[in-house]
Structure 1
Amino acid sequence: MAEKIRLINAFATGEFEGPEFARRWLVARRAWLGQEGLLDAVFSRALREVFALVEDYPIDPALREPGDVTDEDLRKGVQAVAYWLACLDDSADSAS
């Protein structure tokens, strides 16, 4: 789980480009398959959102077609998830 959150934040802040993020995300996801039932429903939803973006993102630019998720779409979507997770983290900190 920590690796996925790190990947989300790193990509959202521009640490690496879309193809590298997508590859790393898929590796991290395979490592967690079957274990997502252990996650809080909120985090599980966030991870599913990122997976849906990556699933619709052609890693090889030569294979892109109209309507596919672009590099910009991928980054904006992941940034939205990172922001949402940060807000949840902030609200959890305020509640304690």
Structure 2
Amino acid sequence: MPRPAHQQQARTLDISGAFVRRTDLSGASLRGANLAGADASNASFRNADFQGAVLDGTILKGADLSGAKNLTVQQLSRAIVDRQTILPAYIDHDLLRSN
């Protein structure tokens, strides 16, 4: 039986250290999610919401982040990206250190 709305607890995704290569998380709410150390090479995060997500050491080589919402240069500077990583239009590759 579902809990009443006032009793439901917010849940956040924790895939720290997980192998999620080529996974399609397009449109996902990743608010507050822990993706630290996850291997998300070539994954699709199109239009996903990254507000408050932890990306420390997350491998995003070749990942598609186009249209991502609430993703910051600070978050991405803690992740591992390359020139094949597709960034949202509001973030320039030159602002990040390439690995």
TM range (shorter): under 0.3
TM-score, normalised to structure 1's length? Answer: 0.24
Higher relative contact order (CA 8 A, sep 6+): 1
TM-score, normalised to structure 2's length? Answer: 0.23
